[in-house]
Chain A
Amino acid sequence: MKILGLIAVMLTGSLLLYATGDFPAWSDPASPAHRHVSPHYIEHSLHETAVPNIVTAVLADYRGFDTMFETTVIFCAGVVCFFLLRRPKRSPHREWQYRHVATGITVRVKDPGKKPPALKEFERIDTLWTPHDLIIETACRILIPFIQLFALYVIAHGHHSPGGGFQGGVILGASVILLAISHDLRTALARMSEEIHAVLCSVGVLIYAGAGALCMVLGFNFLDYGALAHILHVDPVTARSHGILIVEIGVGLAVMATMVWIYSNISSKGNYDEGL
């Protein structure tokens, strides 16, 4: 079976390599892709959308419908992870482990029936992942605000430089994941609970689709941001630029919430109690 698989992979690979010979040369100006739509984007995207970064203009305006369903795919991934992994009932505990905050001594409580009282001097730690490092915790605590600031910059500055909703949303989600890794999952969930993940995930897609539907209500095509000119009190070209920013914020929210949602489901086996 293994040899059969290897032969199939080799055949497909060599076919693909053979097919690349028919491709036009790299950056060939006479290739079909560079003849029909690309000149229009390069020549007209700046005065049609007021966005200097052509990639953002194509992604969120000319091909906005495509990007909306990409966001929907990410939303579906989060929801599927939730339905596959989430266990509504918490698994019964056999023991709890606590750490004395001042001295760092670990205390193990073996009492299956009773839950120990919440004390300020003791903080709960995971039974599987016990090492505690002050340097990592402090370094991550200093680092996380800057990562989040950079993520907001990436989302807001996607009009002028590489970046946008997807990248910024992933970086924003990664900062929350870093908090979960450096402390524990409960610390991250105390700041951003499961309900917020689910709500933000849907709100992001709703902002995107809502911006499109609003244009339709105002008598234009779906996702034709020029319609927002009357609401935002700007000329139609600037309205397109603002419309792109609105949908990028929607994408960023959806992607951030989905990343954290998937991570907390995977790392805690779906019971949201003890995670990586």
Chain B
Amino acid sequence: MIWQLDLIILTLVVLSAIGAVAVKDLLGSAILFGAYSFMMCLLWAIMGAVDVAFTEASVGAGVSTVFFVAAVFRTTRRTKD
């Protein structure tokens, strides 16, 4: 476990999580959420939980981002609040 790499990824996780909530554009929010999932996947892989990392990469970063983009495509791109 390289702690510098760990620290960088953890910072990126927090940044993308805050960004996904704060951004007004819902498409950008969906993409930031995908980035968050990918960073979590890297964290799982660093900790040695390869099966969980694999699930996170395929479900979190892959398919759920597609679902969000499809939902944004069918609704609105701007948030009301």
Contact = CB atoms under 8 A, between A and B. Distances in A.
Are A and B associated in one complex? yes
Interface of A: 26, 53, 55-56, 154, 162-164, 166-167, 170-171, 173-174, 177, 181, 259, 262-263, 266-267, 269, 275-276
A55 B51 contact: yes
A267 B73 contact: yes
Interface string B26-55: 000000000000000000000100110111
A269 B74 contact: yes
Contacts of A167: 51, 54-55, 58-59
Given A177-B66, A263-B67, A162 B51 contact: yes
16 contacts: A56-B51, A162-B50, A163-B54, A166-B55, A166-B59, A167-B51, A167-B58, A167-B59, A170-B55, A170-B63, A181-B66, A259-B63, A266-B67, A266-B74, A269-B74, A275-B70
Contacts of A263: 63, 66-67, 70
Contacts of A262: 67
Contacts of B54: 154, 162-163, 167
B67 A171 contact: no
Contacts of A177: 63, 66
Given A163-B51, A262-B67, A263-B67, A170 B62 contact: yes
Given A181-B66, A263-B66, 9 more contacts: A162-B50, A162-B54, A174-B63, A177-B66, A263-B63, A263-B67, A266-B71, A267-B74, A276-B70
Contacts of B55: 166-167, 170
B58 A170 contact: yes
A166 B58 CA distance: 9
B73 to A, nearest CB: 5
A78 B45 CA distance: 29
A91 to B, nearest CB: 13
Contacts of B66: 174, 177, 181, 263
A267 B70 contact: yes
A26 B48 CA distance: 12
Given A162-B51, A164-B51, A177-B63, A171 B58 contact: yes
A162 B34 CA distance: 22
Nearest to B81: A2
Interface string B14-28: 000000000000000
Contacts of A267: 70, 73-74
Nearest to B49: A55
B20 to A, nearest CB: 14
A173 B63 contact: yes
A233 to B, nearest CB: 31
B4 to A, nearest CB: 17
B41 to A, nearest CB: 12
Nearest to A269: B74
B59 A170 contact: yes
A77 to B, nearest CB: 11
Nearest to A154: B54
A263 B68 CA distance: 10
A174 B58 contact: yes
In this complex, the member of B58, B62, B63 whose beta carbon has the largest number of chain A beta carbons within 10 angstroms is B58
Contacts of B50: 162
Per CB-CB distance, the 4 closest pairs between chain A and chain B, nearest first, are A267-B70, A162-B50, A170-B58, A55-B51
